[in-house]
Amino acid sequence: MKRYRAIAVLLGAGVLASCEKNTVQDITGAPLTSAVRFFNFGVNAPGVNFYANTTKMTAILSSTGTEATTGTAYGSVGAGGFYTGIEPGQYALTGKIAATTDHNLTISSVNANLEAGKSYSVFMSGFYDATAKTVDGFIVEDPIPAQLDFSVATVRFVNASSNSSPMTLYAKNTVTGNEVALGGSIAYKSAGAFATLPPGIYDLATRTAGSSTNAIARTAVTLAGGRVYTIGARGDITITSTTATNRPFLDNTPNR
C-alpha cells in the first residue's frame, strides 16, 4: 500500500441549502491527484512545519492535544513518512520554524510545479546558517512503479549530503555475500533510478568513483518483497564519529 494521506477538502461549508434538521452537507470532491512528502535533512536545522504556499502540510500533535513546537526534527520525515495529497500546480514548498522563538520564520523554500498523477519528495538539506537562518533544499520526483512485484524489493538512492562527492549505493546480501551497485554515481540534490533486489537483509554502503572505501555505511537493513524504498544520504561527510547527530547516515524510508 502506498504511504499516502490525503488532506480532506471541505466543500460547501457555508449556507446550507435547507434548514431541515437532517440535511447532510456534501463534502465530496475530486480526488487530489498529486502527492508530496517532506524530509528535514538540514544539518543543525531546527524543527520545522512544512507548507505548500500557505497550506500547512505537516505538524506534530502534543500530549495536550495542541500543536507541538518541536516540528519535524532533523533526520525525520514529516507526517510519519506518508505522502500528503495536493492539487497539481505551482507551489512554494517551505520549511518554517516550529519553535516559539522565530515561530513560522521560513528557513527553506523550493519552488516546483507538481504534476497530476505524480509523487514527490522535498528535502531540506545542506548546513543550517544560524545567522542568516536559512538552509538549502531540493525536490525530486518519486517515479514509483505502478505495479508491485512481490518477488523483489525496489530501491533507489537520493544524495542529500551537501559536502559529499557523487556516490554510488551498494547493497550486500548478508546471507549470500553478493554485492551489487544500485544505479550509478549520484551527486548532491539528485536521485537515482529505482532498481530491484531479491528480498533479504542487506549491508548498504556508498562509495565515490574509483574507491573501494565506504563513504557511508549502514548494516542489516531489511528490504521486503513488494516494497519500494528510498535510501537517502544525509549529514556531514567529514564527521567520523559513529554517534554524532550530524554524522553521515543512510536513511531508509519506504515509498510504498
pLDDT tens string 227-241 = 999 999 999 999 999
Average pLDDT of the chain, as a whole number: 90
Average pLDDT over residues 244-251: 98
Average pLDDT over residues 213-223: 98
Q: For residue 64, name the pLDDT band (cuts at 50, 70, 90).
A: confident
Average pLDDT over residues 140-150: 94
Residue 3: per-residue pLDDT: 56
Domain 153-254: which topology?
Answer: Immunoglobulin-like (2.60.40)
Residue 4: per-residue pLDDT: 53
Q: Strand (E) positions, 72-209?
A: 76-77, 83-86, 89-97, 106-114, 119-129, 134-141, 153-159, 167-173, 179-181, 190-191, 195-197, 200-208
Residue pair 169/231 in contact by the 8 Å Cβ criterion: yes
Q: Is the pLDDT of residue 120 over 80?
A: yes
The set of cell numbers assigned to 171 is 547493497
Q: For residue 6, name the pLDDT band (cuts at 50, 70, 90).
A: very low
Query: Residue 219: which H helix or E strand, with range?
Result: strand 216-223
Dist. CA 250–CA 191, nearest whole Å? 14
Q: Is the pLDDT of residue 187 over 80?
A: yes
Is 54 exposed, middle or buried (CB count within 10 Å of its CB: 0-12, 13-18, 19+)? exposed
SS3 123: strand
CA angle 70/76/81 to nearest 5° reads: 110
Closest CA to 173 of 197, 208, 152: 197
More confident residue, 30 or 4: 30
pLDDT tens by residue, 148-175? 899 999 999 999 999 999 999 999 999 9
Average pLDDT over residues 40-58: 97
Of the options 2.60.40, 1.10.10, 3.40.190, 3.30.70, the CATH number for the domain spanning 32-141: 2.60.40
Q: Is the pLDDT of residue 176 over 60?
A: yes
Dist. CA 77–CA 41, nearest whole Å? 9
Q: Which residues of 142-152 are buried (b: 16+ CB within 10 A; e: fewer)?
A: bebeeebeeeb
Q: For residue 65, name the pLDDT band (cuts at 50, 70, 90).
A: confident
Dist. CA 97–CA 69, nearest whole Å? 9
Dist. CA 7–CA 115, nearest whole Å? 17
Record the pTM.
0.88
> Which residues of the chain form CATH 2.60.40.2890?
153-254
Residue 17: per-residue pLDDT: 37
* Cell 495529497 found at: 85
Residue pair 38/58 in contact by the 8 Å Cβ criterion: yes
Torsion angles phi and psi, residue 70, rounded to 5:
-85, -35
Query: Residue 39: which H helix or E strand, with range?
Result: strand 34-40
